[in-house]
Structure 1
Amino acid sequence: MPRTVDRAEQRRQIGAAVLRLASEQGLDEVSVRTVAAASGRSPGAVQKYFRTKDEMLSFAAELAGERFEERMAAVDTARPPREALRALVLATLPVDAERRAEAAAQLAFALRAAHHTELGAIRRRVDQEVREALGAWLASAGIGRGADPAADRLALADAVIALSDGLALRLLYAPDDREALLCALDRALDALIPPPVPHS
């Protein structure tokens, strides 16, 4: 009896190989041939699932976005808001080998997305989903000030995303500065979400 091939799983395995190559060697080295070698397949087998390099890159960008969202979803957001927000940002940072590889791949995708319409659209969609999810969590945590709390929450979500992106970039090329950068994270979070004023 012929073995059933799980097409979705095959695509994910190939996408994971694209992410590894992108993180280790950059997107210029990604091709049907190199991805085939990295995933233990023939070029013909890879082309059953992805006809072109651009198709592989688009799928890998989606896969990286999924992994990012899964890590954020795994954070216990029931803890106090300042602690939960710190944990959410930490979930996005390249503080271990796997996340470092993904962050390097994400940076490579971001550079390509500046000149590639489809990749740019994927990046913007993932960013918007993260922004909306973070804004919804801030609402559930009761965070939002001023005349328009909803707008305030989205502005805060944008600030947190910018903070995360900047720290991730610095951690990629200056991993030895990790402790100083995590201290910078704490200072920024204290400014974004000031501790409650004690009642006298």
Structure 2
Amino acid sequence: MRPLPKTVDRHQQRRQIGEALLQLVAEHGLDEVSVRTVAAATGRSPGAVQKYFRTKDEMLTFAAELAGERIERRMAEVDTALPLRQALRDLILTTLPMDAERRAEAAAQLAFAVHAAHHPRLAAIRQQVDQDIRQALTIWLESAGHATHAPAVADTVIALSDGLALRMLYTPQQQEHLLTVLDHALDTLIRDHGAHTVL
């Protein structure tokens, strides 16, 4: 009796390749990413990788979507029942490169953002992730009673997160100082937008 052929989970295989690509981007930048280097990182042959992604651009597009999923998943785990300032702080902390995993992810996100300036398809993915996060933040702020300024606060939180993540990437030794900057910024943001009405 012949053994049954192994069942290949195509989605899982694609995710493994995408995760390997994210790690490569974080460690070496986009210039070092190719079908060959991703294949080597996953213990596959280039031909095996091309069964799931025909080109480098297809891999990059999928990996960008995967990175966006990770961020949204962590943000969804934040306890929004906390007081507004604490919840916003926890939300921003999920995006900052404060450990190896988030540092790799932030480096990859930065590389994708730079690459997206010249690649409309990647830019569209980045824009959609930003839009989804902004919408989720706005809805949450409105539900907390912050309806008047919700879109502006959401945009400010995203900008604060992006700026701090960038600075932590190239000055990790200033992490404690930058967390203090975050606290000062949140104090100003909450005060300026009348958050006493929602706490």
TM-score range, shorter chain: over 0.9
Determine the structure 1 residue equivalent to 2:110.
107
Equivalent in 77, 81, 85 of residue 78 of structure 1: 81
Q: How far did 1:155 drift? A: 1.1
1:2-81 alignment, distance < 5 Å? 2-81=5-84
The aligned amino acid for 1:132 is: Q
CA offsets 1:130-174 (integer angstroms, 9 cap, x no match): 000000110111113xxxx2xx21111001100000000000000
CA offsets 1:21-48 (integer angstroms, 9 cap, x no match): 0000000110000000001111011000
1:122-161 alignment, distance < 5 Å? 122-144=125-147, 149=148, 152-161=149-158
The aligned amino acid for 1:183 is: T
Q: Which runs of 4+ in 1 moved over 2 A?
A: none
Residues of 2 paired with 1:135 and 1:163: CA distance? 15
Residues of 1 paired with 2:140 and 2:179: CA distance? 22
The alignment's TM-score, normalised by the length of structure 2, stands at: 0.94
The aligned amino acid for 2:138 is: G
Determine the structure 2 residue equivalent to 1:168.
165
Residues of 2 paired with 1:39 and 1:75: CA distance? 32
Q: How far did 1:196 drift? A: 2.9
2:196 counterpart SS class: coil
1:189 counterpart = 2:186: yes
Q: Provide structure 1 residue ranges, at least 5 long, that are not aligned to the other structure.
A: none
1:84-95 alignment, distance < 5 Å? 84-95=87-98
Residues of 1 paired with 2:144 and 2:172: CA distance? 32
Counting aligned pairs with the same residue, the percent is 70
1:168 counterpart SS class: helix
Residues of 2 paired with 1:56 and 1:41: CA distance? 15
CA offsets 1:81-127 (integer angstroms, 9 cap, x no match): 11001000001111000000000000000000000010000000000
Residues of 2 paired with 1:172 and 1:141: CA distance? 32
RMSD between superposed Cα atoms in Å: 1.0
Q: Provide structure 2 residue ranges, at least 5 long, that are not aligned to the other structure.
A: none
The aligned amino acid for 1:92 is: T
1:193 counterpart SS class: helix
Count of residues in correspondence between the two structures: 191
The alignment's TM-score, normalised by the length of structure 1, stands at: 0.94
Residues of 1 paired with 2:146 and 2:87: CA distance? 12
Residues of 2 paired with 1:82 and 1:32: CA distance? 44
